[in-house]
Amino acid sequence: MNTFVQNIYLTKKETLKCISCNKRIALGQAFVAETENHKGTCFACSPFSKLAFLKSGSAALTRRSKKHSSYCGVLFAWNRRRKRFERKGQYVEKAAIAAAQAECSADEEKRALKNERAAVAREVQDKIYIEEFSKAIRAFYPNCPKNRELAIAKHACEKHSGRVGRTAKAKEFDKSMIDLAVEAHIRHKETNYDSQFGRGKTKRAIRSDVKQDITYILRKWAE
Ligand SMILES: [Zn+2]
C-alpha cells in the first residue's frame, strides 16, 4: 500500500495558523505540516483526525501499521530540555493497527530471537570497539598507569552516555577526542576536582584550579 505520510507537531510557537480553516493553532496543539516552519493545517482539517493513535514503543507495530494504512501522521512533541522535537507515535487507520497486531503476535518468537541475536552481536562489537579505543589511548599515552586505558575507554564509551567515546570523531580515534577522554579521567581520578564542589566555588573556578594538575599529568603520561 502507498501510504501518505505527514508530520504532526504539537507546536512550540503561538504564531501558526491553519491554511484551511484559517484558525490560529494554540500552543501545544497539533499542527500538520512537513516541518513546524511550513504552511500547514490544524488537526481537525487534516486527514488524520478520524484515525487511531498508536504510541511509539514497538518498532515492529509502528512499521507494520504504517504499511497497512493509507494515511500515517507521525506525531512529534517538543522536548524543552533537549531542545528538539521527539516522536511520540502515529495516527493510522484502526484496521491497520489490528492487522499489524495480528502479524506481530504471529511472529513474536521469531522476532524475539532475532533481537536477542542482534543484542549479542552489538555487545561483541562494543567490546571490540572499547579494546581498540583503549589501545589508541595507550599509544598516545604510553606512560598511563596499567589498565587505566581500559577504564578510560569503558567510561568514555558507555552506551547512551553521550560521552566523547561515542561520537563519530572518536570512532576514528581522533587524537583530540582521546585527549578529552583522558583529561576527564584525570580530572576525576587524579585531582581533587570532585571534592571541591559545594563550598561556594563555581564549576568554572574549580575547573581552572585543577587545569595545571591535569596538564602536568597528561604530559607525564604522554612521555
Ligand atoms: Zn483547520
Q: What is the pTM of this model?
A: 0.62
User: 1-57: per-residue pLDDT in tens?
Assistant: 689 999 999 999 889 999 999 999 999 999 999 998 999 999 999 999 999 999 999
The alpha carbon of 66 and the centre of ligand 1 are apart by a number of angstroms equal to 24
The alpha carbon of 31 and the centre of ligand 1 are apart by a number of angstroms equal to 9
The alpha carbon of 102 and the centre of ligand 1 are apart by a number of angstroms equal to 35
CA dist 187 and 211 (Å) reads: 8
Whether the Cβ atoms of residue 9 and residue 88 lie closer than 8 Å to each other: no
Q: Which residues surround ligand 1, an ion (CB under 5 A)?
A: 18, 20-21, 41-42, 45
Over its C-alpha atoms, the chain yields an Rg (Å, rounded) of 25
Residue 26 grid coordinates:
494554540
For every residue of 45-114, DSSP letters joined together read TSTTTTSEEEESS-HHHHHHHHHH-SEEEEEEEEETTTTEEEEEEEEE-HHHHHHHHHHHHHTHHHHHHH
User: 146-202: per-residue pLDDT in tens?
Assistant: 999 999 999 887 755 555 566 555 557 788 888 999 999 999 999 999 999 988 999
